[in-house]
Amino acid sequence: MQIETLQTFCDLAELKSFSRTAEKNMLSQSAVSQQLAQLEKSFNTPLIDRHRKSFGLTAAGELFYNSCKDIISRYENFQSSLNYLKNSSKSKINVAAIYSIGMHSLQEYIKKFMTLHPQVYLDIEYLSAAEIYNRLLLGKIDVGLVAAPRSGPDIQVFDFVPEPMVFVCSPQHPFAKKASVDIFMMQYEQFIAFAQNLPTRNWLDRLLIGYNIALRPAMEFDNVETIKRVVEINAGVSIMPLTTVKNEVANKTLKAIPFSNENFTRPTGIVIRKNRAMNDNLKAFIELLYGKAIK
């Protein structure tokens, strides 16, 4: 029995669709059906309830699904630790950050760590949050830095630098000379938003709902650089981390204005895989980012 077969069964249980499971695992529907049949033959018991109109697992199927999840988690943890041990002798730390954090908040920490630990090589990548979580679980990176971090059974989170969120507009915008902006004014503006399902977009949506504000973005983009370029030409306004627009503010191509309602800050976090092997260099890097000792 292969790990891939266990993963396919878990996907089938979660997606409740042979076609979607086949697509996700790059198999034919026939291959998925054959794998299920082989499992049921091996255990001499049905795992899928074929008497129900809707897709469902039998009691044995539920038991097998939970066992598969545990086995896969343990296997991924083993792979992560094994990959780390292979690379640990090279004094290398693989770091991935979302672009806005990697290009701005992270830079001073990298310089400080390199001064303190010149023998350690930091390999920095800029990736989406989804890809960072995925690579962590596969053991392909050691540390991730994301906005609005989420913990989980296999993910541990340490707080990183909270980022002030500000109203951002072109110097030609009517609000450019204001000392502060009321967040309720957002609903009357051409709003340039982060793309849906990005952690920052989800966090902003929850914040605005708390003020009973429902925005209909004029445009949506998956990165801060594109949003800045659109706002610079006065095609709309946005809410962005102050750290990401400091250069543009200094060059007077953008205006960053605080909100009058309260100080909004975007949470950011350091994410690692739980229960992974950790040498002194990696521990020192995480502690530098976190600002305190970790166990």
Q: What is the pLDDT of residues 195-225, one digit of tens each?
A: 988 999 999 999 999 999 988 899 999 989 9
pLDDT tens readout for residues 85-114: 665 555 889 999 999 999 889 999 999 999
The boundaries of every CATH 3.40.190.10 domain in the chain are: 91-161+268-290, 163-266
Assign domain 3-81 one CATH number from 3.30.470.20, 1.10.10.1800, 1.10.10.10, 2.30.30.90: 1.10.10.10
Indicate the fold that domain 163-266 takes in CATH.
D-Maltodextrin-Binding Protein; domain 2 (3.40.190)
pLDDT surpasses 60 at 181: yes
| Residue 76 pLDDT > 70 | yes
What pTM value is reported for the model? Answer: 0.68
What is the average pLDDT across 235-243?
96
pLDDT of residue 53: 75
What's residue 295's pLDDT?
75
Q: Mean pLDDT for the chain?
A: 91
Which CATH number is associated with domain 91-161+268-290? 3.40.190.10
Alpha helices in the chain (DSSP H): 3-15, 18-24, 29-43, 59-88, 99-100, 107-116, 129-138, 199-210, 224-232, 246-250, 280-290
How far apart CA 96 and CA 90 sit, in angstroms, is: 18
CA 71 distance to own-chain centroid: 24
Average pLDDT over residues 112-120: 92
